[in-house]
Amino acid sequence: MKVQTQTGRFTESKARLLDNNKAGYAYSFDRQMYVNRKTKKVFSIEFIQDHDEDQIRKRIEARNAGRDWQFNFKGKLAESVRRELELLLG
């Protein structure tokens, strides 16, 4: 599966890391991000494009010890965007 975005593509192997059922991520077309509500982790398409498979895999496998969402985005999220996403995701 190759996802076309405004900034380019990412590889099938990167997509498989998030698309497989074990990982538990769902793709949000509206927000162009992968979300796992159970582990409270979010990966943007841009983050996936800019990082190699090992880095992505490590972030997926890393334990989220807190109650807060972990946002894996290309740059730092503005606090207003973070709050909006947290409200949207629950």
Q: Provide mean pLDDT across the span 2-22.
A: 66
- Token readout for 69 is 């969402």
For position 7, what pLDDT does the model report? 37
Q: Over the stretch 17-54, which tens digit does the pLDDT of each residue have?
A: 888 777 889 999 999 999 999 999 999 999 999 998 99
DSSP reduced 3-state for 37: coil
| pTM score, whole prediction | 0.82
